[in-house]
Amino acid sequence: MITVESVRSRRHVITSALTALLAVIVGGVLADHFVLQAEWWQVNRTVTQAPEPPLRDLGPPATPVTTSWQLSTPVGDSDLPAYDRVAYTIVEGQLVIVSGHGLDVRDARTGEERWHYYRAEWSMLGWARTGQVLVAYLERIGHRGNRLMVGLDAVHGTLLWRQRGDVPSAIDRTTLRWPAAGGVVFVTEDGRHTLYGRSATTGRRLWTKRLPHGCLLPEAVPYASDSSESIAAFSIDCGASDRVLVVDPWKGRTRFTVLTRNTARSAIAVGGEVTVVFDGSSLQAFDGRGRVFLRRAGQDLCRNMCPVAVTAGHLLVAYETGQRSEDATPTRRLESVDIATGASSWHRDMPGYTALSVAGGLVYGLRSRLADPLLPAGVDVIDPVSGSGTTVPIPVVLRAGLDGVRPWLAAGGGLLYVAAPAARPRPFGAARLVALRGGIRGEGPPELAGVPPHRWPDACSLLPKRDLPRGYDGEPTPATVDGLRLPAGCTFRPPHGHGHGRSLDGPEREAGVLSVTVQWVAADVGTAKALFAAARDTQNGTRVRAGDEAYAIGTSSGTVVMRVGRAVVTVTSGLPDTATRLAAVVAARLRSAA
């Protein structure tokens, strides 16, 4: 017989069980919210109340430069290696370093830290910048569905807003930057069929734009729009009719669309009211109304994207012409095109432009190498109106094949900022940033950092016949820097018809072709040391000789690189032992001539 007391008892037991279950659920939710996802233990963040550092719109003059300060940022090692990148931007006199670890913001004049934002157990997989706001996109390690977007005041580091759920509209594969413009950051959802505009200062959604039927935003693109506050451009995948969508950032209104051949390869750059698109087979530039004013065809025009800059009503673009210079280096043409008429104003043909920047009415163009086979990278300082300019070497080495950071260039406050990848520290390398200022002019040309050409040693004279294997003769292989001819290289060949010569220790051994290359003569020993260290840090598999500024590349390459005083010299032979012995001879000759 069921009594009233037994019913009440059962109800009490059920109620108690439900209450306990609810407490466990609520406790779990609260624990996840207030402990596992809590800001107080996850975030390592500093802020600053110091005013923004002044940084005038001015770069260094066209004279030799010297290092003002530098820093190295290690490339991360995460579960998502494609996102282990380092990138840079300058905001209100501050240098922002972006890595998988988080945001590191420094005074651009001195390199001293102002503020940082790191988050434990999370990886930073994207970032955007507009005005005085930085937006970071983070995902919790091992939980890709757990994501967070954070808006931060770029000057002081104060937190403006947090938002969960959205993902970046389209991330640049090489910098992890995604578009933001005019105080608006552009995001999407998991399906990637809709574009949203959020206020960069509040995180509030401002507008929604549904993409055309069958179209979606790709997760990553070769090069994303990143340098305009008045327009934003996106590659969208629409199957057989891929296109680029250019929008007004404040209202999300479509400015114009461009049909492209392949969204997976389409790269976009914007500047002012100009949109530049490279789809793998052609390069086109559009004004603010969508009118084409530049068109160049060719699959090898750009790598990921041709460097561009907009100034004084002109678009400056560096692209590969398909021609080769005397040393077989691909020629890049820097061309100035009038935006209003599409007419070409001037062009300069130089090897290896990798980045452009505009400051103080001058254009700065980063060259991957001053000239082959010389060691330093170079910067062209150009008048954008006439195209005339001067080349100066910089204590930076850009070596092909290294990853982690896209070569970057910016100018401000009389300084020039250059970033390049390095192979050290191992195993994943680092991004090296150097801030350069004007240096001593010297008595020689600026193209040689003020060192007169006659101060360069003749490479052929560094190995006299008595120190060579029997029968070897030297053949000069000069280098040319903007018309200046230098006796930088010498190739020593065995007698005709013989593939061997007498080695330095007597017995007949296979020696093959030998070479000596004076890769640089610096204005002073300190600069030579910096350049030598920069070159060493771009090499994998180096073996440093104890107590000497010299290293061998690999174990069997037969190449020794050394610094003797102000000179950096490379000696190459088919035999490692021969290269080491010859390097000692060359070093002694350089010391005796100093």
Q: What are residue 502's phi and psi, to 5 degrees?
A: -80, 125
Structure tokens at 261: 């051949």
Q: To the nearest whole percent, how much of the chain has pLDDT over 70?
A: 87
Q: What is the largest CA-CA distance in the chain?
A: 120
CA 404, 409, 411, 416 torsion-angle sign = positive
Strand partners, 198: 185, 205
Structure letter (DSSP) for residue 500: -
**Nearest to residue 123, comparing CAs of 136, 137, 138?**
138
- What pLDDT digit, counting tens, does each position of 268-286 carry? 999 999 999 998 888 999 9
d(CA 391, CA 382): 9
Comparing 574 with 235, which gets the higher pLDDT? 235
Average pLDDT, the chain: 86
d(CA 244, CA 266): 8
Which residues, at least 6 apart from 39, have a Cβ–Cβ distance to it below 8 Å? none
Lowest-pLDDT choice from 14-28, 294-308, 345-359, 371-385 = 14-28
Structure tokens at 102: 């988080």
d(CA 195, CA 166): 10
d(CA 314, CA 169): 29
d(CA 26, CA 22): 6
Tell me the helices (H) and strands (E) count for the chain, helix number first.
4, 44
d(CA 173, CA 289): 28
Structure tokens at 139: 């995902």
Return the exposure string of 42-52: e unless at least 16 CB atoms fall within 10 Å of the residue's CB, then b: beebeebeeeb
Residue reference for tokens 């494609």:
82
d(CA 209, CA 252): 7
**114 CB neighbour count, 10 Å cutoff:** 23
- What pLDDT digit, counting tens, does each position of 381-431 carry? 999 999 999 999 999 999 988 888 999 999 999 999 999 999 988 778 899
- What pLDDT digit, counting tens, does each position of 191-216 carry? 999 999 999 999 999 999 999 988 99
- What pLDDT digit, counting tens, does each position of 46-88 carry? 999 999 888 999 999 999 999 999 999 998 777 777 788 999 9
On the 0-12 / 13-18 / 19+ scale of CB atoms within 10 A, 394 is buried
Residue 19 has pLDDT above 70, yes or no: no
**462 CB neighbour count, 10 Å cutoff:** 24
Q: What are residue 156's phi and psi, to 5 degrees?
A: -110, -15
- What pLDDT digit, counting tens, does each position of 545-573 carry? 655 688 888 767 789 999 999 999 999 98
Rg (Cα) of the chain, in Å, rounded? 29
Find out whether 95 and 105 touch, Cβ atoms under 8 Å: yes
Q: What are residue 257's phi and psi, to 5 degrees?
A: -125, 155
Structure tokens at 2: 């069921």
Give the side-chain half-sphere CA count within 13 A for 168: 28
**383 CB neighbour count, 10 Å cutoff:** 14
d(CA 51, CA 58): 20
**53 CB neighbour count, 10 Å cutoff:** 18
**Nearest to residue 197, comparing CAs of 212, 214, 182, 216?**
182
Domains annotated on the chain, with CATH: 44-439 (2.130.10.10), 453-593 (3.40.1000)
Structure tokens at 191: 């399906």
Q: Region 334-358: what's the mean pLDDT?
A: 91
- What pLDDT digit, counting tens, does each position of 165-194 carry? 899 998 998 899 999 999 999 999 989 999
Residue reference for tokens 């017995």:
507
